[in-house]
Amino acid sequence: MTRLLINIDHVATLRNARRETFPDPLSAARACLDGGADGIVFHLREDRRHIKDADVERIRAELDTKLDFELSLAEEIVAICCRNAPELATLVPERREEVTTEGGLDVLGNSKRLSSVIPRLYDHGVAEVALFVDPDPEQIEAAARSGANAIELHTGDYANAADAAARAAVLSRLATAARQAHDLGLRVHAGHGLDIHNYPAFSKAVPHLAEVSIGFAIVSRALFIGFKAAVEEMRSIIEAHPHVA
Ligand code: PXP
């Protein structure tokens, strides 16, 4: 069964909008775990627009679950990730002016930096390193050479596809990429824009899905039905739609 990890960044976005101490991302994470989440994801951005350093420390100290620390290759953030030694570190590109992560990491262009960061993460006790990539064969080959043990496929183009033809085309690229990654010995994660509506067609097309990372849709749904119910709802969709073999 594909594991469901929940990204709680946007609980912090709401808190920070009023420079308040609530809503608390840690409390939201606990409610997600109550709802059956298999782990918690956060992205400590260089501009600290949502999750802050103190959130990372509290989440690490208080939760006994798989943590996925999303990070850029910036030295300051890599050092914080090493100190907190999450179970999973997912390396992502980051641009200050973007509203959210807009595409996959350029693994080829960053190969030198990756060759120093990835071994450091393992040395500090990070069990698994994933690279967030577009479904591009060259990037996936480079990911396999990098020493990472997983990729996270960027599903934003699937979630935002303008019509059925565009959706089918991107699903086909994602399926090919998942097969290639699996054949190269990489675990396959996926995320960005996934929700209860688009997950069934996604899992019907894309094999080897070990894990999905979902944030915005869950936080948005939780405003109306609460985190526990929002996660239970997503879980039941995943269980009803196992990924294709
Ligand atoms: N995976 C990665 C690498 C991301 O950057 C994001 C967005 O923060 C997600 C998954 C989750 O995307 P969404 O919030 O659209 O579910």
Per-residue pLDDT of the chain (245 residues; tens, 9 = 90+): 999 999 999 999 999 999 999 999 999 999 999 999 999 999 999 999 999 999 999 999 999 999 999 999 999 999 999 999 999 999 999 987 777 777 899 999 999 999 999 999 999 999 999 999 999 999 999 999 999 999 999 999 999 999 999 999 999 999 999 999 999 999 999 999 999 999 999 999 999 999 999 999 999 999 999 999 999 999 999 999 999 99
CA of 193 to the centre of ligand 1 (A): 7
What CATH number does residue 77 fall under?
A: 3.20.20.70
Q: Whose CA is nearest to atom 9 of ligand 1?
A: 192
Separation of alpha carbons 154 and 118, rounded Å: 20
Q: Judge whether 205 lies within some domain.
A: yes
Residue 92 lies in a domain: yes
- Evaluate: CB of 2 within 6 angstroms of ligand 1: no
Whole-number Å distance between alpha carbons of 215 and 9: 7
- Token pair, residue 208, equals 């080897």
Question: At CA 71, angle to CA 65 and CA 73, rounded to 5?
Answer: 145
Residue pair 86/69 in contact by the 8 Å Cβ criterion? yes
- Residues catalogued as catalytic: 43, 70, 192
Are the beta carbons of 54 and 88 closer than 8 angstroms?
Answer: no
Number of helical (H) and strand (E) elements in the chain, helices listed first: 11, 8
Give dist(CA 150, CA 144) in Å, integer: 8
What single DSSP character describes residue 91? E
- For position 191, what pLDDT does the model report? 98
pTM over 0.75, yes/no: yes
What domain range includes position 132? 3-240
Q: Does the C-beta of 220 come closer than 6 Å to ligand 1?
A: no
- Phi, psi (degrees; rounded to nearest 5) at 35: -80, 0
Does 136 map to a domain? yes
In a domain, 222, yes or no: yes
Ligand 1 contacts CB of residue 216 (under 6 A): yes
DSSP 242: P
In a domain, 245, yes or no: no
- For ligand 1, the distance from its centroid to the CA atom of residue 124, given in whole angstroms, is 25
Q: How many structural domains compose the chain? A: 1
Could you tell me what percentage of the chain is helix, strand and coil, using 3-state DSSP and rounding each to the nearest 5? 50, 15, 35
70 within ligand 1 shell (Cβ under 6 A): yes
pLDDT of residue 98: 77
Task: Specify if 149 maps to a domain.
Answer: yes
Residue nearest ligand 1's atom 5 by CA: 101
